[in-house]
Structure 1
Amino acid sequence: MSLDRSVLASVDGDQSSSSSSSSSIDSETYMVGFIVANIVGLQYYSGRISGREMVGLVREPLNRFDPNAIKVVNTHTIQVGHIEKKVSSVLAPLIDSNLVHVEGIVPKTPANTVRYKIPCHIHVFANIDAFETVKSAFLQNGLCLLSENNPLFSTSESVVVKEKKKSDLDEIFKLVDQNLSQNSVNGEIEPPKDFILPDLFVHQKQGLYWLYHRENSNELPPFWVENDAGFLNVLTNYQTDKRPDPLCGGIFADDMGLGKTLTLLSLIALDKCKVSTDGKCEVVEVENEQSVTRSRKRSRKGSKKQNTEELTGRASPKMTLVVCPPSVFSTWITQLTEHTKRGRLKAYLYYGERTQDVSELEKYDIVLTTYSTLGSEFKSSKDPIKKIDWWRVILDEAHIIKNHKAKQSSAVNKLNARNRWVVTGTPIQNGSMDLFSLMAFLRFQPFSTKSYWDSLVQRPIAQGNANGLSRLQALMATFSLRRTKEKALTGLPPKTIHICHVELSVEERQLYDEMETEAKSFVAKYIAKGSVTHNYSTVLSIILRLRQICTHTELVPSDIRSSLLSYNFEDASNNPVLLKKLVLLLQDSEDLDCPICLSPPSKMIITSCAHIFCENCIIRAIKSSISACPLCRHRLTESDLFSPPPEYTPEVDKSTCKPSSKATALLKLLEASRTENPSIKSVVFSQFRKLLLLLEEPLKEAGFKTLRLDGAMNAKRRASVIEEFGVSGAGGPTVLLASLKASGMGINLTGASRVYLLEPWWNPAVEEQAMDRVHRIGQKEAVKVVKMIANDSIDERILLLQEKKQKLAKEAFCKKGKDEKREIDLADLRTLMSL
């Protein structure tokens, strides 16, 4: 759920190190002052600094010599040394508790500098409310923090650089922006017919040209120039005599449904070809073996040898690793089996029971695995994936790693690869911070170091500075490709989105107004006390109930007030029964993510402070140097963690259930479509499993044959439902009742041409993923999407939040932007609750 990260985790300015990557820098963060500290231990590291250069400051809580360690890296992310202990011992606890953010710059090094020390100006930023706490921490430890009222404050390199370099920096980005044509798609490549069966669309051939040239360009990376002394990074002032490696790869961000997978398979096929300047391919290697081989254990040595020779042939010199969610496996396998010649590209599924033999994997062109598989092997020394120098790594649905501190993000970042690709139709889901984890994987220096990203991009955007957005736009233009369906000219039928405004019934309106009035008083109280984060789960629960009333009153219990508003969840450590009730309440919705890994909770755990996490995520967090809740900083031990009741199955009495206003409106729309064309198929999306069950009976009575697709089904059952729904002809199913998350990735629903969204989601990208299961290549009919919105309700206010997120995502890939705030903040929560 994006609100729990973007709103609730930030409005109090109290974010954890575990989840800070998912939230933007607070828009009211300012420089408290700066301290002059030494970078020590230079003799132990190979990183070098040339003088007046930005440096990255990275916390090392697991450093075995010093748990307060802060390492210093240069623009190449090569370690230079550490901040001296007397300073790091004060800074580290402040950083870990998210009271401060720090940035470093080395002033011009004087000639008499001690050999193994370099002075560094560390600039400390914090929320205004935390200024006195931060200053006191330095004062109590005898350190001089030079704040604005100190005459020496003007010597801050931060001020000098802003005054002296601002115009140069902005001019650099302006020049990049003016030369976007250098990175535009200005050619086409035909994939080799000996490998790829179908003819590609023009936009796919152009995309293939761009992908191929990104991998084979020897140009300097963006913001590097060659001078008499060697090579200079004009952003950070880093000078080196070694030519920087080209950035091989980038972000492939075409709209969902434009055939990115087939384009990428064509790129892999080019590994076996010579490509001429006119875009023609000459095949230099042809093999005739099986195209897809599932991972399996071969117990007998003799048969293992025989099968290896039979299935794999000789090892390919260029191997591609594809990392994706399990639901997307079927897409890659389908594309391989249906769109490539049998035996030309060999693939291995590194999933479930799998080989640990590197030499076995080296016999395949493509290895498919999942983010969770890599995460589970993160610390394993036997993991063969980490031992291979991959020719190419492709992260499909890469927005999954938007939290750069999650285990699976760390796992993919450590992969060795010459070419690194991020593939996602939704690179920005919640805010610009989502892009940092992609930078970390791409190793685009200096932006792959968080302190550089914060100072050059994130902080200006969060503070509404137009320069931050323009820099982000120029940055994206250098190594990303994004085409929308409207511009790709695929011949795809149009998609139109309509808002169906629904008036609540008298009974629904009365319940909603009573609930909202009481909810406002609770949320207003939390805002006034500055305790929204501490009451995170309560606020989520309140908002959830308001949304449910807008959709169907049967979704909420009859004793709604006693089940929610009379409880105080702030500290329920002595009431595990209450905690389990809260979990049951939140399980009513799919719209819930673990704040650490940003994925639906796996083995859900609720803490004594009423926050919900994955079991592995929260145990790892409290075993770190500070044993505290990542959201509210409440002290935690493993005894403060509670398991929920068994998986929740909603009870539905279909015989006595009266249709809601939205259900009635939906039925009228479906009947109108049937009158227009009896063969029209429709997909009805909701995040509430119980609602899908409630809709089955009235639809059946109205003569509709329905199928249901939800997250409680296993993969085999889901595949069966999708296949049955795709069958055309009289008497077949015409309405699919689908949960959003079960239908968001890796499935094809082009048999339908009508989409109904029964409630708005916080994250518009999730809605886009769902509707683009229908509106994609293969669709023959115009697609009509209808959003059901309850008038004068929280539904309308969620739409406003969606518009903000969509605007940022769109502008990141455009040339111009406006000077305004980009991130969700406390004002948005007030808007949401109509306060």
Structure 2
Amino acid sequence: MLRYYRFHKQLSLELYEAALTAAGKPRNPLVPVNPLDRVPRTTDPALLQFLAAVSRFQKDPTAPRTAADIEALRLVLRNPAGLPVYTHDAGFSDNPTAGSLSAVRFGADISDATLLVTRRGDTYTCSVQLPAGGRMLPLEEADIAFDHFVRSGEELQLLAGFPLFRLVRFFRGLRGPLQLPAAHFPELRRHVLDPLGDLLTVHYTGVRPASEEQLEETGLATAPARLLYLSDSGAHISITPVVRYGDTEVPVLSKRQVYAQDRAGQWFCLVRDEAAELTFTALLLQQHPDFERQLDTDPLAFYLHRSRFLENDWFLGAFAQWQEAGITVLGFGALKGIRSSPHAAQVSVQVRSGIDWFGASVKLRFGKQTATLKQLQQAVRAKSRYVALGDGTQGLLPEAWLGRFSEWFNAGDADTEEIRIPKVQFATVAELFKEDELDREALAELRYYQDSFAKPGALPEVPVPAGFRGTLRHYQQQGLNWLQALADGGFGGCLADDMGLGKTVQVLAFLLAEAGKDGPHTSLVVMPNSLLFNWQAEAERFAPSLRLHLHYGERRLRHIRDFDRFDLVLTTYGTLLQDVSYLKNYGFRHVFLDEAQAIKNVGSQRYAAARLLQARTRFAITGTPVENNSLDLYAQLSFACPGLLGSKRSFTQLFSIPIDQFGSSRHARQLQARVAPFLLRRTKKEVAPELPEKTELLLACPMEESQQRIYDACARELRDFIDGKADDELKRSSVFLLRGLTRLRQICNAPQLLPEEKHWNGSSSKIEALVEGIVNNAPGHKILVFSQFVSMLELIRAELEKREILSEVLTGSTRDRAGAVQRFETDDRTRVFLISLKAGGTGLNLTAADYVYLVDPWWNPAVEDQAIDRAYRIGQEKKVVAVRLYCPGTVEEKIHQLQAAKRALSGGIVGGNASFFNHISRQEWTELLGPLKTAF
């Protein structure tokens, strides 16, 4: 019900409950309803708004009306509950009764009025007309009800706009038109009529529409320009669409008429381009859902909360559309707290071919501002989506490009102009850049590399050099082809064939193929001491024409110029460290590192010295490119293929942590794909099916009671130490923990290996089982015995001597290594070769043996595989049996279990094996020690 307050002529809205007569009219009594009492029982949002709006008109009757009151009346008129509407006639009764009510209905809102301005002589007259009842009705004739409505019979039409409400109230207060002298009119027009013209229609009678001549004369015949003004409005940003007709700017959402004077001083009215303005408005309405709702409030501008303006980079997409549509945007730079450039990023990339790198030129523009490559790199490294620009703003990096930018910088080094990616990363370049981003030369070169190294078996065949004395197997020929292709491309690589497949032979054939070519002819091979005589023998056997020099011993050459007299120089890692100060100054043709896992620690002196060697190409030779973790591979390939895997820091983040710590197969595949062209690995199973069968056995050797008691006491001590340490302290105690584990492993072999137990006279279960096996097999087989502990080998030899079994021993202190190997291989009386795992686990060819005993398990299963492959290699004609001894229920059994769980690392990268001793957790330490068998 609509009524006036009893003592104030101000609209009040009230709710009542009443029974209905048979005719459907309310009857007494009318029971008032407090709208706020209904709120707790209401869940419909529209009905809640309705109740709140009704309540607004039951408060202070003396409060002045505001724009919010008009909005509340709009909500009331929606009448979501479909309630009947009545007005109260105060002349019938002071309080509402059934007889004082008149039924009404709400008609269409009145959102505009026309303010007519007429001049008669020296007087201007302003009057108001309202569109009501289907015609323009002078305000004096309109029936204004409750200050807010125009009544036409039973219909009420809301004056739907606060400026309109104020205009009607003002003119009703005048009780007639407004008249004023012509001298005062300019001021009225400037301060009242022009601003009012934005919200309502102001019509000057007597001013005719513009003629074609007037439009041409005043420059208004051209299409209007479109502008957007952005400005701060508290927590919001206002977006005001404006069209400019000549010099006159008109808000698109306003009702303002455009008036101008011709040269004769005659005023005329320009008809606004409704079609162009509607198109302009439609574009804005499509850009944000909030805008369409705001049209109901008759705004001059759209608005967005600052957070909504920035949300999901809305303004960037909108700004791009505005620019594309030819709309001028003004005021963005003055917005408070917004440093972002309004321009979307434009990225262009061009990759060219350099000397030994591909150069990627990246142009990043934001309007007229260009971000430098260094600025872009800083943003990417900081993982920021914003890049600093020269004008003080920040450009927003496109989401779709962030990953590409990061990958580019990870792949190469950036200078001021371009990102230089080593050509050794050609596979990465092909993956990171689209073909249309490469210039013609770079694309042709990239395709050449891809075709050349797609499959080692598809490489051009290299003729076997005339000076080669021997026959290359098919896979060795492929290895020669691969080495030659890499060298021709200026690349190095890692020859990682399985142990015993003849890597030395492939390298010697390659060096013969390189002999006589232009450039330096001297190549260098660095190796462990134990391999020196083997390399010399192999070179003299297969490549006798190579001029060979052993750079080793006290009488070695001191002047690098003397190297020019040789084709091949052999030296050791120890000699390299001593002589690196002048070896680094010689330009070799090729440098090879045999058993290249020797430089797997990038912080070692060996690694640093090897990196200083200069050569056209550098190669790593190893049967175990990954022993402990993926950083082993990084060290060897950063020597052989500088730049392939980037910096250690980036490699750690991109590959080492995901692979080594989290076992990511996806990252392992990515690493494998990157190194594939430069790492050649074939296993015996793949390329040497003619090799005899290899049988691997685990032999359990339970400890006897006294040995077990010593083991349990040591294990308890170590367990108590671990239990008493926090996780961070445990990580800092690795030396003590390893020493404790070593003691446990020594006890498993024989307690006499401990200094405090050297007089122990019990029996070692391992020695008993091993000697029994040797006694049984020695008559028909030659046997290799490997142990990490030299003192264990001495105990074993003493037992063999008691049984008159002749043996040879090879440890780090053995001087005549070649003699020991030759006697075992050729002397039928020597049946056993006792070998220190560290001294003889690599580089030896011992195919006379067909039994291999591994006395104690080693943390790294690859080292055990290498030891077995001293016998199981090309040239072996007998079946090979490898026996691993262990004490059940001890750390040795746990080592075997954890080895199996951690072998997958290398296989996921290069197809080999890996060490267990990577990242041992507290839980794994506990599992290693296992439950104690004896309680004290």
TM-score (norm 1): 0.58
2:931 pairs with 1:832: no
How far 1:77 moved relative to its partner? 12
Select which of 813, 827, 833 maps to 1:712. 813
How far 1:434 moved relative to its partner? 0.8
* RMSD, aligned CA: 4.3
How far 1:695 moved relative to its partner? 1.6
* Separation (CA, whole Å) in 2 of partners of 1:158 and 1:540: 48
How far 1:471 moved relative to its partner? 0.7
Structure 1 match to 2:888:
791
Structure 1 match to 2:168:
none
Structure 1 contact 106–121 (Cα < 8 Å) conserved: no
- The secondary structure found in structure 2 opposite 1:497 is strand
Residues 107-136 of structure 1, C-alpha deviations (whole Å, 9 max, x = no match) = 9899466999876147589xxxxxxxxxxx
Question: Whose relative contact order is higher, 1 or 2, with alpha carbons under 8 Å and at least 6 apart?
Answer: 1
Q: Measured at CA, do residues 369 and 328 of structure 1 come closer, stay the same or move farther in structure 2, by a change above 3 Å?
A: same
2:560 pairs with 1:364: no
- The secondary structure found in structure 1 opposite 2:494 is strand
How far 1:734 moved relative to its partner? 0.8
Structure 2 contact 552–572 (Cα < 8 Å) conserved: yes
How far 1:479 moved relative to its partner? 1.4
Select which of 756, 762, 781 maps to 1:680. 781
* Separation (CA, whole Å) in 1 of partners of 2:813 and 2:839: 9
Structure 1 match to 2:763:
659
- The secondary structure found in structure 1 opposite 2:593 is strand
* Separation (CA, whole Å) in 1 of partners of 2:903 and 2:358: 32
How far 1:504 moved relative to its partner? 1.6
- The secondary structure found in structure 2 opposite 1:433 is helix
2:498 pairs with 1:255: yes
- The secondary structure found in structure 2 opposite 1:185 is helix
* Separation (CA, whole Å) in 2 of partners of 1:550 and 1:495: 27
Structure 1 match to 2:863:
766
Gapped runs of 5+ residues in structure 1?
A: 1-49, 54-74, 81-104, 126-144, 147-151, 218-246, 274-283, 285-314, 560-651
How far 1:263 moved relative to its partner? 1.0
Structure 2 match to 1:161:
402
Structure 2 match to 1:345:
546
How far 1:429 moved relative to its partner? 0.5
Q: Measured at CA, do residues 107 and 389 of structure 1 come closer, stay the same or move farther in structure 2, by a change above 3 Å?
A: farther
Structure 1 contact 106–120 (Cα < 8 Å) conserved: no
2:730 pairs with 1:532: yes
Structure 1 contact 394–421 (Cα < 8 Å) conserved: yes
Structure 2 match to 1:690:
791
- The secondary structure found in structure 2 opposite 1:367 is strand
* Separation (CA, whole Å) in 2 of partners of 1:52 and 1:767: 53
2:689 pairs with 1:417: no
Higher strand content, 1 or 2: 2
* Separation (CA, whole Å) in 1 of partners of 2:893 and 2:822: 35
Q: Measured at CA, do residues 418 and 181 of structure 1 come closer, stay the same or move farther in structure 2, by a change above 3 Å?
A: closer
Q: Measured at CA, do residues 550 and 416 of structure 1 come closer, stay the same or move farther in structure 2, by a change above 3 Å?
A: same
* Separation (CA, whole Å) in 2 of partners of 1:205 and 1:834: 50
Select which of 585, 598, 602 maps to 1:400. 598
* Separation (CA, whole Å) in 2 of partners of 1:331 and 1:799: 32
Select which of 560, 575, 584 maps to 1:373. 575
Structure 1 match to 2:654:
456
* Separation (CA, whole Å) in 1 of partners of 2:472 and 2:755: 53
Code of the residue aligned with 1:517 in structure 2: it is R
Structure 2 match to 1:318:
521
Select which of 795, 800, 807 maps to 2:897. 800
Structure 1 contact 255–425 (Cα < 8 Å) conserved: yes
Residues 571-596 of structure 1, C-alpha deviations (whole Å, 9 max, x = no match) = xxxxxxxxxxxxxxxxxxxxxxxxxx
Q: How many aligned positions are there?
A: 536
2:773 pairs with 1:669: yes
Residues 347-398 of structure 1, C-alpha deviations (whole Å, 9 max, x = no match) = 12222333233332112111112222222334x3xx1x32332221111111
Q: Measured at CA, do residues 260 and 541 of structure 1 come closer, stay the same or move farther in structure 2, by a change above 3 Å?
A: same
Code of the residue aligned with 1:749 in structure 2: it is L
* Separation (CA, whole Å) in 2 of partners of 1:471 and 1:184: 19
Q: Measured at CA, do residues 164 and 745 of structure 1 come closer, stay the same or move farther in structure 2, by a change above 3 Å?
A: closer
Structure 2 match to 1:72:
none
Structure 2 contact 707–762 (Cα < 8 Å) conserved: no
* Separation (CA, whole Å) in 1 of partners of 2:460 and 2:373: 55
- The secondary structure found in structure 2 opposite 1:369 is strand
Structure 2 match to 1:184:
456
Q: Measured at CA, do residues 722 and 466 of structure 1 come closer, stay the same or move farther in structure 2, by a change above 3 Å?
A: closer
How far 1:824 moved relative to its partner? 4.8
* Separation (CA, whole Å) in 2 of partners of 1:488 and 1:431: 26
Q: Measured at CA, do residues 195 and 522 of structure 1 come closer, stay the same or move farther in structure 2, by a change above 3 Å?
A: same
Structure 1 contact 107–119 (Cα < 8 Å) conserved: no
2:481 pairs with 1:209: yes
Code of the residue aligned with 1:262 in structure 2: it is V
Structure 1 match to 2:107:
none
Aligned pairs for 1:231-270 (under 5 A) are 248-270=491-513
- The secondary structure found in structure 1 opposite 2:903 is helix
How far 1:756 moved relative to its partner? 0.4
Select which of 817, 832, 837 maps to 1:740. 837
Residues 545-591 of structure 1, C-alpha deviations (whole Å, 9 max, x = no match) = 111121112222447xxxxxxxxxxxxxxxxxxxxxxxxxxxxxxxx
Aligned pairs for 1:482-501 (under 5 A) are 482-489=681-688, 491-501=690-700
Structure 1 contact 464–821 (Cα < 8 Å) conserved: no
Code of the residue aligned with 2:811 in structure 1: it is D
* Separation (CA, whole Å) in 2 of partners of 1:663 and 1:181: 51
How far 1:687 moved relative to its partner? 1.1
Q: Measured at CA, do residues 546 and 169 of structure 1 come closer, stay the same or move farther in structure 2, by a change above 3 Å?
A: same
* Separation (CA, whole Å) in 2 of partners of 1:747 and 1:488: 21
Structure 2 match to 1:97:
none
* Separation (CA, whole Å) in 2 of partners of 1:124 and 1:505: 62
Q: Measured at CA, do residues 487 and 173 of structure 1 come closer, stay the same or move farther in structure 2, by a change above 3 Å?
A: farther
* Separation (CA, whole Å) in 1 of partners of 2:741 and 2:569: 43
Of stretches 179-188 and 483-492 in structure 1, the one that deviates more from structure 2 is 179-188
- The secondary structure found in structure 1 opposite 2:601 is coil
Structure 1 contact 764–805 (Cα < 8 Å) conserved: no
Q: Measured at CA, do residues 702 and 359 of structure 1 come closer, stay the same or move farther in structure 2, by a change above 3 Å?
A: closer
How far 1:780 moved relative to its partner? 2.3
Structure 1 contact 748–774 (Cα < 8 Å) conserved: yes
Structure 1 or 2, whichever has the larger Rg, is 2
Structure 1 contact 349–367 (Cα < 8 Å) conserved: yes
Residues 706-725 of structure 1, C-alpha deviations (whole Å, 9 max, x = no match) = 22222232x32x33222221
Structure 2 match to 1:234:
none
Structure 2 contact 380–402 (Cα < 8 Å) conserved: no
Code of the residue aligned with 1:701 in structure 2: it is K
Q: Measured at CA, do residues 122 and 827 of structure 1 come closer, stay the same or move farther in structure 2, by a change above 3 Å?
A: farther
Structure 1 contact 201–490 (Cα < 8 Å) conserved: no
* Separation (CA, whole Å) in 2 of partners of 1:374 and 1:196: 28
Structure 2 match to 1:724:
823
TM-score (norm 2): 0.52
How far 1:181 moved relative to its partner? 7.7
* Separation (CA, whole Å) in 2 of partners of 1:511 and 1:451: 45
* Separation (CA, whole Å) in 1 of partners of 2:398 and 2:923: 34
Structure 2 contact 453–677 (Cα < 8 Å) conserved: no
Q: Measured at CA, do residues 249 and 193 of structure 1 come closer, stay the same or move farther in structure 2, by a change above 3 Å?
A: closer
Q: Measured at CA, do residues 435 and 517 of structure 1 come closer, stay the same or move farther in structure 2, by a change above 3 Å?
A: same
Structure 2 match to 1:556:
754
* Separation (CA, whole Å) in 2 of partners of 1:550 and 1:419: 47
Residues 673-707 of structure 1, C-alpha deviations (whole Å, 9 max, x = no match) = 24xxx141111111112111212232233342222
